[in-house]
């Protein structure tokens, strides 16, 4: 049974959960088929994410977290159900259209950084803007601003192999921010970092959320899930708990 413990008046973020959701999933299912077998990754899932929220998604391995994040990021489509992004139904459209939506609205942070080894930090961060056809002068301004935000301006000309894991992830965060995306989807962003660098990345995400960016974090580590102000727990492809937290981490 779904446990919904979201407060009505008490939550410091309650005012954000009004109006049209930035993301709304209705009765989402995802079935993977192969060799006569079916794997139900998601089953009848409902989820709303409003602008300015910071939510974590957790659950045991195989519960559907990564599948859900792929659907949220338009990297995969559900087998059934409806997905609305900023009020727009975004299913059965072209891959070119999805790429444009991702470029405008969604930033990604991955566990493995996904930086291109042949490019330096500046070029890695600049890449999404290049795909968008933004002019070089404006690209430079936006990349420099993003690097300053993550404290990597002095590593702009370094290549990934010249950086620590924490520095690589900071560069990846800058790449997610540089497009001005409304929502950042972070898939185990601390998974390859020690606790010191992991906490530094989480502090960055918290700061960006305070500045208005919507954050959706997938994590198996409860320490990092505690940074979120809303916790969603999954089991067997469904949401089994959805609770908002106050600034001190208490459920409201």
Q: Which domains does the chain have, with CATH numbers?
A: 3-244 (3.40.50.300)
Interatomic CA distance for residues 172 and 16, integer angstroms: 27
Model pTM score: 0.85
Residues 160, 117 contacting (CB under 8 angstroms): yes
Interatomic CA distance for residues 193 and 195, integer angstroms: 6
**For residue range 125-177, what is the model confidence (pLDDT) as tens digits?**
999 999 888 999 999 999 999 999 999 999 999 999 999 999 999 999 999 99
The average confidence (pLDDT) of the chain is: 88
What pLDDT band is residue 3 in, cutting at 50, 70 and 90? very low
Measured between alpha carbons, how far is residue 106 from residues 188, 192, 251 in Å? 16, 22, 28
Interatomic CA distance for residues 127 and 237, integer angstroms: 34
* Strands, E assignment, 148-193: 183-187
**For residue range 221-236, what is the model confidence (pLDDT) as tens digits?**
889 999 999 999 999 9
Interatomic CA distance for residues 167 and 115, integer angstroms: 11
Q: What share of the chain is helix, strand, coil (3-state, %, to 5)?
A: 35, 30, 40
């Amino acid at each position: 049974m779904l446990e919904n413990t979201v407060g009505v008046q008490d939550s410091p973020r309650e005012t954000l959960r009004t109006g049209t959701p930035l993301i709304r999933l209705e009765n989402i299912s995802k079935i993977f088929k192969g060799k006569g077998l079916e794997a139900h990754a998601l089953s009848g899932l409902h989820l709303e994410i409003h602008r300015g929220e910071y939510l974590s998604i957790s659950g045991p391995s195989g519960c559907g977290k990564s599948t859900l994040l792929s659907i949220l990021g338009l990297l995969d489509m559900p087998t059934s159900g409806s997905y609305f992004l900023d009020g727009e139904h975004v299913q059965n459209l072209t891959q070119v259209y999805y790429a444009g939506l991702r470029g405008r609205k969604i930033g990604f942070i991955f566990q493995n950084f996904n930086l291109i080894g042949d490019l330096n930090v500046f070029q890695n961060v600049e890449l999404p803007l290049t795909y968008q056809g933004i002019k070089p002068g404006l690209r430079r301004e936006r990349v420099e601003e993003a690097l300053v935000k993550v404290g990597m301006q002095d590593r702009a000309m370094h290549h990934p192999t010249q950086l620590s894991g924490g520095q690589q992830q900071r560069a990846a965060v800058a790449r997610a921010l540089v497009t001005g995306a409304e929502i950042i989807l972070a898939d185990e962003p601390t998974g390859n970092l020690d606790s010191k660098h992991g906490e530094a990345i989480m502090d960055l995400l918290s700061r960006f959320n305070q500045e208005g960016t919507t954050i959706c974090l997938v994590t198996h580590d409860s320490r990092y899930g505690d940074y979120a102000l809303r916790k969603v727990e999954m089991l067997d492809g469904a949401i089994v708990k959805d609770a908002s937290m106050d600034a001190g981490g208490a459920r409201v």
